[in-house]
Amino acid sequence: MISREINDLLVLLRANEIAISRLYHQYALSFPEDAGFWNEMSVQEVSHGQDIDQLRDLAGQGKILAGKTTLRAQAVQTNIRYINALIEDCGQGKLPRKKAYALALDLENALLEKKFFDIFDFTRTGPYTDIRAKLVAETQLHRERIAAKLKEQP
C-alpha cells in the first residue's frame, strides 16, 4: 500500500503530464509548420500519464515500495498552473515559436521530471522496471529532440 500523500502526488504528476500534452497540442495548433512534431510529443505525454497510473496501481498492490522524495504536491500544482498560463499565452499568439521550444526544453529538464523517480524505491527489480526505463528513455529523447529543434530556430 502507498500512503495517501504519495497517491495524491502521483495523481498530480499524471495531471502534470496531461497539462504538458495539452501545451504541446496548443503548440501544434499555433505553429502548424511543426504540428507533426508537437502532436507526436503530445501523444507521448499522454502515454507518460498512463505509465504513472500503472506505477500507482503497482504501488497500491505493494509491488513497488515508496522511496524518499522531497517532491511536494504544491510544487506540482504550481507547475500545472504555469503550464496552463503558457497554453493561454500561446493560444493568444503571445508566445514566439523559438520561445515555445525553449520553454518546452525547460519543462523537460525541470527538476520535477528528475525528482519523479525519487518517489519509488527502484533499487529492486520488479514489474515496474520496464515502465521506469521507458519513462527515462522517452524523457531523455524528448530533451534531445526539442534541443535539436531549438538549435534549428532562427
**pLDDT tens sequence across 12-61:** 999 999 999 999 999 999 999 999 999 999 999 999 999 999 999 998 88
Tell me the C-alpha distance between 15 and 31, whole Å. 24
Query: How many domains does the structure of the chain reveal?
Result: 1
Cell readout for 37 is 512534431
H helix runs in 61-118, sequence order = 73-91, 97-109, 111-115
Q: What is the pLDDT of residue 6?
A: 87
Whole-prediction pTM: 0.93
The residue segments making up the domain with residue 16 are 4-152
The candidate with the shortest Cα–Cα distance to 68, out of 113, 117, 132, 111, is 117
Instruction: Give the domain CATH number at 39.
Output: 1.20.1260
**Tens digits of residue pLDDT in 25-36:** 999 999 999 999
pLDDT of 111: 64
